[in-house]
Structure 1
């Protein structure tokens, strides 16, 4: 049918005063934030492991991963449990967000390419941006956000949790 556009569903959330989104297809569940079991010698943004229905899941402070200040826990702080396809593997992790807003559809033509304007986060982690309510929603490219070394490290964290 001519003139139709495809839509994708995204979960929107905030970090500081910025609004971000991830595809709803990778979101397993959204949980209240709880302190994670610390993993020694991990990067600062790896908060530790959390038990999610019997699975040890690495929990990431996305604010630190994007070069922002550390997340300060509030009653609105949530953990998005994600199953992120990376290559031939699926990386399960928890991303801490200041607040989760809603599931919203974005039409393909609404999504603009990542701007290279020296913003606070590295633009190679941006899959696209959508103009909304006078501002922007940044769509996070989860597969590019985590390098091969980090995937291996989180795989090790998952194996440690499985043997604990």
Structure 2
């Protein structure tokens, strides 16, 4: 008779950035779309790749590679955008995260998640929820806390992006 309950395990979507496997809680992921038309917007932070149209909404695309301090992502046929909701106070903002490729949906028991080491990870430790032990336990996936990766001010700046054609302040 097993006393383990389903509430203990969590599902994550894994994806590749700069050759490393990262994952987000599956409940934050809204959809995955093929990288297509992204419009560059002048004057945005270097980690914002641009914006795209998602069923009539303007959605900023964040190049996580740049945001995490690595070189910009190179677009390939496997590049895609992971559409997520990021918490901003009591609000949720929709953003697109550029990834090099999608991995898989993984299920992790609480015992399979360990704290990140204080050294050796390519990104700031505060950005990680932990490291998930995958499969036989020899391989780890870095579990991102996407709400911490982007600060409130950064999310506000990215969420306020509009393509230049939306500007209606000049009337002559």
Fold match by TM threshold 0.5: yes
Instruction: Identify if the C-alpha distance between structure 1 residues 135 and 90 changes in structure 2 by more than 3 Å, giving closer, same or farther.
Output: same
- Please, which of 146, 152, 170 is the counterpart of residue 148 of structure 1? 152
- Contact 1:83–1:93 under 8 Å retained in 2: yes
Query: Equivalent residue for 1:116?
Result: 118
Count of aligned pairs: 164
- CA distance in 2 between counterparts of 1:144 and 1:137 reads 18
- CA distance in 2 between counterparts of 1:117 and 1:33 reads 33
Query: Equivalent residue for 2:39?
Result: 37
TM-score (norm: length of structure 2): 0.86
Structure 2 stretches lacking a partner, 5+ long: none
- CA distance in 2 between counterparts of 1:159 and 1:52 reads 13
What displacement does 1:129 show?
A: 0.4
- Contact 2:88–2:152 under 8 Å retained in 1: no
TM-score (norm: length of structure 1): 0.90
Greater radius of gyration (CA): 2
- CA distance in 1 between counterparts of 2:145 and 2:86 reads 10
Instruction: Identify if the C-alpha distance between structure 1 residues 161 and 101 changes in structure 2 by more than 3 Å, giving closer, same or farther.
Output: farther
Q: Which moved more, 1:107-116 or 1:45-54?
A: 107-116
Asked whether 1:9 is paired with 2:11, we answer yes
Asked whether 1:50 is paired with 2:52, we answer yes
- Contact 2:130–2:142 under 8 Å retained in 1: yes
- CA distance in 1 between counterparts of 2:165 and 2:81 reads 18
- CA distance in 2 between counterparts of 1:2 and 1:162 reads 57
User: 1:51-70 counterparts in 2 under 5 A?
Assistant: 51-70=53-72
- Contact 1:84–1:143 under 8 Å retained in 2: yes
Instruction: Identify if the C-alpha distance between structure 1 residues 160 and 105 changes in structure 2 by more than 3 Å, giving closer, same or farther.
Output: farther
- Please, which of 76, 82, 97 is the counterpart of residue 80 of structure 1? 82
- CA distance in 2 between counterparts of 1:76 and 1:67 reads 22
What displacement does 1:149 show?
A: 1.3
